[in-house]
Structure 1
Amino acid sequence: MVGIALALFAVAQVGPYRVADKLPDVFHESSPSDVHLGGYIGQRIADSEVNRLRTVDLKPLLEGFHHRPGSHPWIGEHIGKWIHAATLAWANERDPELKTKLDAAVKELISCQEPDGYLGTYTPDKRFGLYENADWDVWVHKYDQIGLLTYYRFTGYKPALDCSRKIGDLMIATFGPGKKNILSAGTHMGMAATSILEPMTLLYRHTGEAKYLDFAKYIVSSWEEPGGPKIMSTLEAGKPIDQVGNGKAYEMLSNLVGLCELARATGEKRYLHVAELAWDDIVKHELYITGTASYYEHFHPGTDLPNQTSKNVGETCVTVTWMQLCQQLLRLTGGAKYAEEFERSEYNHLAAAQKPDGSAWCYYTSLEGKKPYTTETCCCLSSGPRGMAIIPETAYMTGILDGQNTVFVNTLETSHATVNLPGSTTTVDQQSSFPNAGKSNITFATHFKAETPMGAAKLAIRIPKWATNFRADVPGTIRDGWYVIKPKREVTLRVHLSFDMPLVKNESMIGGETYLAWTKGPFVLCKDMSKAADDGLVRFADVVDDRYRIWLPTQPLATSAFQDAKESRSVEGNVDGSICDGDPGTFVVTFDGKKHESAWFALNLESPVEVSHFEFVQGGLFHDGGWFDSSVEPPKFEVQIAKGGKWMTIAPVVGYPKTTATDRGSLKAGDAFKVDMLKSVKVYGVRVIGTPACGDNPLQSFASCGELIARP
């Protein structure tokens, strides 16, 4: 995007900042109050506001501030996240019900601040340190500030700024040279604490008080201290992102977002360069096809990206913070590649983690398996709506191209934007059939407030990489991924766009085998495993209750004839897993706190299949059970010959080690035990049954199963 980036400079400022950019944005985001999205993503944004943000019970989120300590080490982060998302959503939708709730929440949070500025959820003896179950204090204050400063930005409510300022003063009084080291107050090599860099920099921008900028610079210097994450030096040395700190993705990305804010505030291009290095390495080595990163919540060496549910793929907090980094770099550089990756995440991993009606979110969203939506308070349930709420800010952006005001269009959804430029107001109205078809009509009009030497604004429409045969009926030039149109003065411009969204095949090597994934337009597609093989593909973002798979084998796999069959077990248990999803890590148990004589796990089909191979994969093992007691007899494979009929023993689980009710012997989670019969048998069902173990609690017993397989 070099051509456009060199030609652009700042033209406008969103928000009541007292300190101007020292490194001006190339692209300026729009206020969410000036952009209204319809279509596919617009509906997701609206549903997030109506069915999540508006309905959240705020009492549990504020309880820890009223009665310290809170119920969870980072319970305090949630109210700040909610205020951030709710403020942006209110600015976009102007929902009076949400505004009433928002105003009350802000006032209640502010009322909980102590005289010295403390606004966390810990008792005085466990503050700003790495205490047991009390080691997220600075992190919570970060989200307090993010929420309060966002609210102040859009409402001008000064007590919110004053509260945030008191937090900033407390940070300065507590940490710094000759005081406590901020690294000692944050998990993950201090990165949780140092991520307060973002709001402290914004606090400086809002107040103009240099002490907050000095503290932000101190944070960056602290990274290089002994035991610190060494974010700057590691990336500047050309090392990969997984070698920064301990590789914890969410916290690291949060620091990089803050570093971008500091670059903007100081003009220090070194900070921007480090963020760009990190972004480049993530795209090259860590990014999934769906636009998320991390498994087990960390970055990892190489390009091995596991897809299974048990690998804790794509934490929603990571997806959202990755989008924020893309947004920051898009603003600072104007690079179309950042808009491309923001869009990839928006339509895929973010939308896939959200239940389509907006009411629930996934903590992790794997590329195969089943989506674990939740409404139980957790970091990702609070982060997801923030991701949806920032989308309108990047849909329409402004800048200067060749000395002329330019509106940059980053969406092909039905939408409307009002853009205020020096001397004029420009409106953009887009009526689109996207994403169902590749057609859109844009009406672009500039209304002059006074004579301006810059004339009517240009229109620049991003040409997505996934769009082929992109055509416009108004002459323009293609420049660095943008279709640029220079309209005549005082003429309403109407542009008819057409483009193709072909089905695209993507290849990847997984475990030495070639797998394929399919995309159409911005959407990653997946196979709905509940449907017949010829039923085609669906959008990953739209799958709700069914099992799915994105990466599909090119050669038939030796899969179980009972994959995605109806599951049952002797006791429902307390683990929400599966024994027929191809992932032994998603085990189930028969635990209910009671003692049982037997435990079994079964799979059933509507129609019979012929099988001769049986396999049991051991699930999780615990101090109080999870295995079969084989001291009297080993567990057995049983089959159902008739639909709904009696279970018949077909073979023992050969090779199952010697165990007792209290000792699992050499057994390990994930151990597989296979039996091959000489002749196949036609069956409706298969199960494994045995005596459950009690471990160190003889008052109960239970077993565990990772996978149950039967095939020809």
Structure 2
Amino acid sequence: MLRLIRQASLLIGCLGWLPATAQSSVPDELTPIYTEKITGYIGEKLDASYQNRILAQDVDRLVSPFRDRTETRCWQSEFWGKWFTSAVLAYRYKPEPTLKAKLDKAVQGLIATQTPDGYIGNYSEASQLEQWDIWGRKYCMLGLLAYYDLTQDAKSLTAARRLADHLIQQLKEKNVLLVRKGNHRGMATSSVLEPITLLYTRTKEPKYLQFAEEIVRQWESADGPQLIARAGVPVSERFPKPQNWFGWEQGQKAYEMMSCYEGLLELYRVTGKASYREAVEKTWQNIHDTEINLAGSGSAVECWFGGKKYQTMAIHHYQETCVTATWIKLNQQLLRLTGEAKYADAIEQTYYNALLGSMKPDGSDWAKYTPLMGQRLEGSEQCGMGLNCCVASGPRGLFTLPSTVVMQSQQGVQLNFFVPGSYTFKSPKGQVVTVKCQTRYPVSGDIHWKIEIPQAEDFAVDVRIPEWADSYQLLVKSQEVSGKKGTYKRLKQSWKSGDEITLNLYLQGKVIQMGIEPQQVAIVRGPILLARDARLPGPVIDATLSPMMDKTGTLKLDLVKENTDGIWMQFQGSFMPESYKEGPGNPVSVILCDYASAGNTNDARSRFRVWLPQLLNPQKL
């Protein structure tokens, strides 16, 4: 058990949390705890990605570009850091020797390519600082710091410091602004703010804090993305539409923008400057309100475009997986900082729908884009690396969940997500406490926790009541207690071994209507977005079907299959088909499945659709 507690303390560093020796001006409300085991459907998906993506990666291929150093424009250097940081998360979840050996080899191989002046990258000397060079250095630093937090290996920290020192010196010698380099108004290059700030928290060297503050100063210059000054401006409208969509003048690039805000939150923890946090929170709210669709993600052609209102349409290059994973990571930053339920709600929606929907069922591959209708198609290889940016990003989102299902709070523990498994933490008095969760959620709404503790003790257990939960029952030691949806219910009392908490969430089919006449409709059940799939029985995929809902907008759904035929969950509901008779036709039964499974096959891709077209009725015009 002591090993578990040591693992828990080390886990903090891997995800960007400060190690125990570092101090911040603003403490987090929540810290991660060690996960003994996750079971059920999510456990299966974690295991599939672990075996078929994380362990299957050829490490030598990731390191090779750093030896060659011939690049002038591409981004091969990001793949090492993306894979490495996701692999460290995977190792913390399941510390197998095979993966540890792979991590050791990867970091030793990368450090061996570091030049005498400290550079680690794939660019030729004449092209350094340009295009994606600094972006790649960011991912190298993140990987090296993750390895340091895992092992306390001094060589990896030294390599990260030398890499940062080289960048600072190179910018100084060439007398160039960071935000004028690379792409997307300097957001790609200046997202290096995150590892620079993390490097400061681990070394306490003032030069790294000074450089971090200089990055933010450059943001707010005329040449910068003005991520603080324009935080109140919709993310899709901050700059004019660029002539070169992927060039420097593109200020709406979704992934890079959120990466910068992740770094700004880390800097806020160090400095306590309220304007930093306020900028992130304002931007989060705008993204949530104007961009995020029913699957929990957004963006088109990798940029924000006010897309929430367009989600019923067929959209070009919709919902990039890099954006999906980074939206989850940004929400997790805000969740641990504030402990607020809205960030957990957002993570749940995105994780169960957009993220799992972008992962191939066997975990070996990830889609680059995931539409709400049509087909799930394989993305292109990039930079001759045998994968693309989204294949590398997907596991970074997937493996963040184990450490945040249950989190330590200053008063006790917070139950964020309803995932079956066993979670161990330390009580306020230092006792080792285990919370065991039994549930089939989100197929079923019944969640049951049991506490195991050596001696009775007073502490708080905070239980999330989801925002969508219009009807629920919360029982503590068989006694019903009241709460409010969209918040955490604090249960502050004496807990002894065997005490139980039960949350019964009543899952119903809720019909969402969008657009002017004729509207389109979609169906959600709890956090799960449902879809039609051409593999399932019923009318043709494009048939006009109106859900037979009651006056509250509820569609009765019956579970017909669970985790069979490559589909997580299938429900049957009644719909009214288009009729050419004088009167209405007869209802038909339609099978819906979860969005993550819809069209998501290992072989032939199946057509699917979320939004169901409705008939235009002139009487309603």
TM range (shorter): 0.7 to 0.9
The reply to whether residue 440 of structure 1 matches residue 440 of structure 2 is no
The counterpart of 2:422, out of the listed 410, 416, 429, is: 416
User: Does the 8 Å CA contact 1:137/1:185 hold for their aligned counterparts?
Assistant: no
After TM superposition, the structure 1 = structure 2 runs for residues 198-597 of structure 1, keeping only pairs within 5 Å, are 198-235=194-231, 238-244=232-238, 246-301=251-306, 303-306=308-311, 311-374=316-379, 376-400=386-410, 405-422=411-428, 423-447=430-454, 455-467=457-469, 468-472=471-475, 473-478=478-483, 481-488=487-494, 490-509=496-515, 513-531=518-536, 532-533=538-539, 534-543=589-598, 544=600, 545-555=605-615
Question: How far is the alpha carbon of 1:301 from its aligned partner?
Answer: 4.2
**Which stretches in structure 2 are left out of the alignment for 5+ residues?**
1-11, 240-250, 540-588
Q: Which amino acid aligns with 1:502?
A: Q
Cα displacement (A) at 1:508:
1.1
Shift in Å, 1:498 = 2.2
Superposed counterparts of 1:630-669, under 5 Å: none
Letter matched to residue 457 of structure 1: F
Does structure 2 conserve the Cα–Cα contact (< 8 Å) formed by 1:40 and 1:435? no
3-state DSSP class of the match of 2:402? helix
Query: What SS does the aligned partner of 2:473 have?
Result: strand
> For residues 248 and 111 of structure 1, do their structure 2 counterparts lie closer, same or farther at Cα, with a shift above 3 Å needed?
same
1:17–1:207 contact (8 Å) kept in structure 2: no
1:194 and 1:446 map into 2 onto residues whose CA distance is 46
Partner of 2:168: helix, strand, or coil?
helix
Name whichever of 222-231 and 346-355 sits farther off. 222-231
Classify the secondary structure of the residue corresponding to 1:233: coil
Paired residue for 1:45? 46
Amino acid at match of 2:78: E
- 1:294 maps to a residue whose letter is S
Q: Offset at 1:179? A: 2.8
Deviation of residue 284 (structure 1)? Answer: 0.9
Give the Å deviation of 1:85. Answer: 0.3
Alpha-carbon offset, residue 35 of structure 1: 4.8
Q: 2:183 aligns with which of 187, 203, 216?
A: 187
Q: Offset of 1:270 from its aligned partner? A: 1.2
**What secondary structure, in the 3-state scheme, does the structure 1 residue paired with 2:266 have?**
helix
**Any idea what SS the aligned residue of 1:383 has?**
helix
| Alignment CA distance shift 1:63-1:488 (3 Å) | same
% identity of equivalent residues: 34
How far apart, CA to CA, are the structure 2 residues paired with 1:88 and 1:244? Answer: 34
What is the deviation of 1:441? 2.1
Q: 1 CA distance for matches of 2:69 and 2:312? A: 40
Partner amino acid, structure 1, of 2:387: T
* The structure with more radius of gyration: 1
Offset at residue 475 of structure 1 (A): 4.8
Which residue does 1:621 correspond to in 2?
A: none
Structure 1 residues 305 and 447, CA gap change in structure 2 (3 angstroms): farther
Partner residue, 1:66: 67
- TM-aligned CA deviation for residue 331 of structure 1: 1.3
**Equivalent in the alignment of 2:248:** none
Deviation of 1:457 after TM superposition, in Å, equals 2.3
In structure 2, what residue type is equivalent to 1:243?
E
Please state whether the residue corresponding to 1:159 is helix, strand or coil.
helix
The answer for the alignment partner of 1:160 in structure 2 is 156
Structure 1 stretch displaced more, 224-233 or 168-177: 168-177
CA contact (8 A) 1:526 1:548 kept: yes
1:37-186 to structure 2, matched below 5 A, reads 37-70=38-71, 73-129=74-130, 135-175=131-171, 179-186=175-182
1:176 touches 1:218 (CA, 8 Å); kept in 2? no
Please give the secondary structure, in 1, of the residue aligned with 2:175: coil
In structure 2, the CA distance between the partners of 1:489 and 1:330, relative to structure 1 (3 Å rule), is: closer
On the 8 A contact 1:120/1:141 being kept in 2, the answer is yes
Measure the CA separation in 2 of the matches of 1:124 and 1:71: 9
TM normalised by structure 2 equals 0.81
For the residue of structure 2 that corresponds to 1:99, the secondary structure is: helix
Deviates more, 1:139-148 or 1:17-26: 17-26
Partner secondary structure for residue 114 of structure 1 = coil
Contact 1:47-1:359 at 8 Å conserved across structures = yes
Given the superposition, is the C-alpha separation of residues 355 and 217 from structure 1 closer, same or farther in structure 2, using an over 3 Å criterion? Answer: same
Aligned to 2:22: 19
Partner AA of 1:399 in structure 2: S
Q: Which amino acid aligns with 2:265?
A: C
Question: Do the aligned residues in 1 keep the contact of 2:60 with 2:106 (CA within 8 Å)?
Answer: no
Instruction: Report the CA distance between 1:496 and its aligned residue.
Output: 3.2
How far did residue 360 of structure 1 move? 0.8
Residue 176 of structure 1 deviates from its aligned partner by 5.7
Aligned length: 527
1:664-707 deviations in Å (ceiling 9; x for gaps): xxxxxxxxxxxxxxxxxxxxxxxxxxxxxxxxxxxxxxxxxxxx
Check whether the contact 1:17–1:206 (CA below 8 A) recurs between aligned residues.
no
How far is 1:188 from its partner?
0.6
Q: C-alpha distance in 1, partners of 2:39/2:271?
A: 37
Q: Identify the structure with bigger relative contact order (alpha carbons < 8 Å, sequence gap 6+).
A: 2
Bigger Cα displacement from structure 2, 242-251 vs 330-339: 242-251
Contact 1:204 1:212 survives alignment (8 Å): yes
Contact 1:234 1:243 in 2 (8 A): no
What's the secondary structure of 1:462's corresponding residue? strand
Give secondary structure in 1 for the equivalent of 2:310: coil
* Matches of 1:165 and 1:424, distance apart in 2: 38
Match of 2:572 in 1: none
Secondary structure, aligned partner of 1:154: helix
> Is the alpha carbon distance of 1:276 and 1:334 closer, same or farther for their aligned partners in structure 2, counting shifts above 3 Å?
same
Alpha-carbon distance, 1:249 to partner: 0.5
Per-residue deviation at 1:151? Answer: 1.6
Mind listing any 5+ residue stretches in structure 1 that lack a counterpart?
Answer: 1-11, 130-134, 558-712
